[in-house]
């Protein structure tokens, strides 16, 4: 599919093994079958990813990387096959939300085995891991940089992306943007679509932070158009909602897309937009409730506002109690009370009325479940 730097540049595999590949774990006490997806699921992934291996060889490869890093792989299994088997586990993990330490260790072993065999993507990931590891030696880091430079020489796009991430982490923002663009210019294959999306998104964020909103909008829109999974670009929708805030309908659309795929930062803004502009408190309360359930402060404020608007004073009272608990300082709480004076007065009046009614019940009070 692409040429490996191990063959093209004469990289010493033993050196790779001794420096970057040091973390392979022998996983004992648990069967590999306990962490693998079901047979039907694996077969589906093999078909989708066009991996030309029998199910038997797939399981044997997983077992080899599970038991011991020196266990020989089945005949015909190539470096990129091993990396693709790691990609199957990653895709299934993201799809199901299942997370286990042993499954992650197996993924790590597969990456290291694929890198040892010369797979460029696996080598790139190991280089990134090494450069982000504070405990890694300077020798290891220098070797990782050399490998990434070699990969860039053969225009292997993900290597530019990893170098861009490192540059961004260290505050070299312009350099990072150039490297992300180099990655996009490297003609990424469809298999590397997720890398392309990440680069488009990253350039969009850089442009957004530089107030170049037109360019930011372009890159976010490109990322959304190229994404195979909507969850990959939920934050792109969130950024677009801010860029397009004057166009309420489009802002609502992008906030809804972000919220539906679980971006918690979008719950409160969507709720306020629905309540204040579209006059749909019935829809707003759903998003405020969702944010409230995960302790999002702005969503709790929104829940207070919408509950006052709907005259649901019990809910408003509980929301206000949470706000008092979660407010970071007295100045913030004082500002909240001033900005919500009318709502708090209505709540206080309701409390007084409730107390008076409770002291003098009706002659024939309603039952608990009467309305």
Summarised one tens digit per residue, pLDDT across range 87-120 is: 999 999 988 888 888 889 999 999 999 999 999 9
Mean pLDDT of 266-292: 98
- Give the whole-number percent of the chain exceeding pLDDT 70: 86
- Give the whole-number percent of the chain exceeding pLDDT 90: 73
CA dist., res. 223 & res. 186, Å (int): 16
CA dist., res. 349 & res. 14, Å (int): 78
CA distances from 150 to 2, 123, 365 (A): 14, 11, 82
Mean pLDDT of 208-228: 97
Q: How many CB atoms lie within 10 A of CB 245?
A: 14
CA distances from 285 to 171, 200, 290, 292, 308 (A): 40, 34, 8, 10, 11
Mean pLDDT of 158-180: 98
Could you tell me the pLDDT band of residue 363, with boundaries at 50, 70 and 90?
A: very low
CA-closest candidate to residue 122, choices 153, 91, 78, 164: 78
pLDDT at 5: 58
Could you tell me the pLDDT band of residue 16, with boundaries at 50, 70 and 90?
A: low
| Predicted confidence (pLDDT) at residue 7 exceeds the cutoff of 70 | no
| Predicted confidence (pLDDT) at residue 10 exceeds the cutoff of 80 | no
Domain spans in the chain, listed from the N-terminal domain onward? 29-118, 127-186+194-230, 267-353
| Predicted confidence (pLDDT) at residue 155 exceeds the cutoff of 90 | yes
Mean pLDDT of 286-295: 96
Tokens of 158: 């993900």
At which residue do the structure tokens 């976010």 appear? 220
pLDDT at 191: 87
pLDDT at 71: 82
pLDDT at 364: 46
> For the packed helices 55-67 and 101-116, what is the interaxial angle rounded to 10 degrees?
100
pLDDT at 89: 95
Tokens of 238: 């969130």
Residue 61: φ, ψ to 5°: -65, -45
CA dist., res. 191 & res. 120, Å (int): 13
CA dist., res. 80 & res. 123, Å (int): 11
pLDDT at 309: 95
CATH number of 127-186+194-230: 1.25.40.10
Could you tell me the pLDDT band of residue 29, with boundaries at 50, 70 and 90?
A: low
More confident residue, 187 or 225: 225
| Predicted confidence (pLDDT) at residue 366 exceeds the cutoff of 50 | no
pLDDT at 1: 42
Average pLDDT score, the chain? 88
- Which stretch of 56-70, 194-208, 240-254 has the lowest confidence by average pLDDT? 56-70
Measured in residues, the chain has a length of 371
**Residue 98 half-sphere exposure, CB side, CA atoms within 13 Å?**
13
Residue 179 near residue 163 (C-beta atoms within 8 A) = yes
Q: What angle do CA 103, 53, 110 make, to 5 degrees?
A: 30
Mean pLDDT of 238-255: 98
């Amino acid at each position: 599919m692409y040429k490996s730097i191990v063959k093209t540049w004469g990289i010493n595999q033993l050196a790779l093994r001794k420096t970057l590949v040091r973390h392979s774990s022998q996983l004992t006490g648990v069967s590999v079958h306990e962490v693998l997806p079901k047979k039907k699921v694996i077969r589906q992934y093999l078909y989708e990813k066009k991996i030309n291996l029998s199910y038997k060889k797939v399981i044997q490869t997983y077992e080899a990387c599970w038991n011991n890093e020196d266990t020989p792989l089945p005949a015909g299994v190539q470096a990129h096959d091993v990396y693709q088997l790691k990609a199957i586990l990653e895709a299934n993990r993201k799809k199901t939300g299942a997370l286990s330490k042993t499954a992650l260790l197996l993924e790590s072993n597969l990456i290291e085995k694929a890198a040892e065999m010369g797979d460029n993507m696996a080598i790139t990931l190991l280089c990134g891991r090494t450069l982000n590891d504070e405990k890694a030696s300077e020798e290891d880091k220098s070797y990782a940089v050399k490998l990434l430079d070699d990969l860039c020489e053969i225009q292997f796009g993900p290597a530019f992306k990893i170098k861009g991430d490192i540059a961004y982490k260290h505050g070299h923002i312009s350099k990072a943007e150039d490297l992300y663009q180099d990655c996009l210019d490297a003609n990424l294959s469809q298999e590397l679509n997720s890398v392309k999306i990440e680069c488009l998104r990253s350039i969009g964020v850089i442009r957004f932070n530089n107030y170049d909103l037109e360019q930011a909008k372009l890159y976010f829109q490109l990322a959304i158009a190229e994404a195979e999974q909507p969850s990959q670009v939920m934050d792109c929708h969130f950024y677009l909602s801010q860029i397009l805030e004057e166009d309420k309908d489009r802002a609502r659309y992008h906030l809804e897309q972000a919220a539906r795929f679980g971006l918690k930062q979008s719950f409160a803004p969507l709720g306020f937009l629905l309540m204040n502009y579209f006059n749909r408190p019935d829809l707003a309360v759903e998003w405020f409730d969702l944010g409230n359930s995960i302790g999002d402060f702005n969503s709790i404020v929104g829940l207070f506002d919408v509950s006052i608007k709907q005259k649901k004073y019990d809910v408003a009272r509980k929301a206000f109690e949470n706000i008092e608990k979660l407010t970071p300082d007295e100045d913030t709480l004082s500002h909240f009370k001033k900005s919500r004076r009318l709502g708090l007065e209505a709540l206080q009046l309701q409390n007084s009325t409730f107390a008076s009614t409770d002291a003098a019940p009706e002659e024939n009070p309603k039952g608990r479940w009467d309305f």
